[in-house]
Amino acid sequence: MNPIALEGLTVRYGQRLALDQVSLAVPEGSVFALLGRNGAGKSSLVRCLLGEQKPTAGRTLLLGRDVWRERAAILSEVGVVPEEPDAPPSMTARRLSRFCSRLYPRWDAAGVEARLKRFGVSPDTPFGKLSKGQKGQVSLALALASTPRLLVLDDPTLGLDAVARKAVFEELIGELADRGTTVFLTTHDLAGAERIADRVAILNQGRIVLEEEMETLKQRFRRISFPSSRKEAVTRLETLAPVAVASRGWEVEAVVSNYDEGRLVREDEPEVSALTLEEIFIAVTGVVEGER
At 177, which helix (H) or strand (E)? helix 162-179
pTM equals 0.89
Note whether 38 and 107 are same-domain residues.
Answer: yes
The C-alpha atoms of residue 37 and residue 292 are separated, in whole angstroms, by: 6
In this structure, what CATH number is given to the domain that contains residue 76?
Answer: 3.40.50.300
Calculated CA dihedral for residues 33, 38, 41, 43, nearest 10 degrees? 70
The C-alpha atoms of residue 163 and residue 172 are separated, in whole angstroms, by: 14
Note whether 199 and 170 are same-domain residues.
Answer: yes
Note whether 23 and 139 are same-domain residues.
Answer: yes
Is residue 285, in this structure, part of any structural domain at all? no
Note whether 258 and 204 are same-domain residues.
Answer: no
Is residue 9, in this structure, part of any structural domain at all? yes
Which residues, at least 6 apart from 194, have a Cβ–Cβ distance to it below 8 Å? Answer: 214, 276, 277, 278
Note whether 97 and 149 are same-domain residues.
Answer: yes
* Structural domains of the chain, count: 2
Is residue 281, in this structure, part of any structural domain at all? no
Quote the domain boundaries for residue 265.
222-274
Average pLDDT along the chain, 292 residues, taken 10 residues at a time: 94 95 94 93 95 96 95 91 92 97 91 93 96 91 92 88 83 74 92 92 95 95 83 74 82 88 70 94 72 42
First-to-last alpha carbon distance for the chain, in angstroms, is: 34
The C-alpha atoms of residue 156 and residue 189 are separated, in whole angstroms, by: 9
